[in-house]
Amino acid sequence: LLVEFAFELKKALQSINEQSFNHFVLKMGINHGPITAGVIGARKPHYDIWGNSVNVASRMESTGKAGCIQVTEETCAILQNFGYIFEQRGLVSVKGKGQLMTYYLIGKGVAGNVNPAYSTMETLKEEEEEEELAASDQQALLATHEQSGSSITTTESVH
């Protein structure tokens, strides 16, 4: 399932962050349904997908929280049949669709418990704490550079 890929992607990013001392985060959105797919472009052909299901998945990503996997109510219902655990986020305004009930994918149930390797909310809390620590470290670094008369520019990219 694509859900397993999403969990593996989160684990890989965590490993990258630990090894590179970066703090990259992902927002992921998952939806299901019919799509149209094909190769477009004569000079530079590429494969693409279209449709309402794709648009809603994109909105799940764009309206979600960093570090979380957000899904629609219908996708939640299907994935629960496979043992996945969710936390209700609530209604989210989705362009062209109105208010949709959404859920955060927390993990996969193992013998009545959530497998901690999949835990989304726990990871989100840890990431927020790390962000606060990194921000204070960055402020200290900037203050040090300001005192020495040098200049430093910082950028952060989160997609």
Would you name the residues annotated as active-site residues?
59, 95
One-letter amino acid at 131 equals E
Q: Which residues of 112-145 are buried (b: 16+ CB within 10 A; e: fewer)?
A: eebeeebbbeebbeebeeeeeeeeeeeeeeeeee
Quote the CA–CA distance of 14 and 144 in Å, as a whole number: 29
Furthest-apart CA atoms within the chain: distance in Å: 60
User: Do residues 116 and 107 make contact, with C-beta atoms less than 8 angstroms apart?
Assistant: yes
CA distance 106 to 20: 26
Distance from the first to the final alpha carbon of the chain: 22
Residue whose C-alpha is closest to residue 119's, from 86, 81, 94: 86
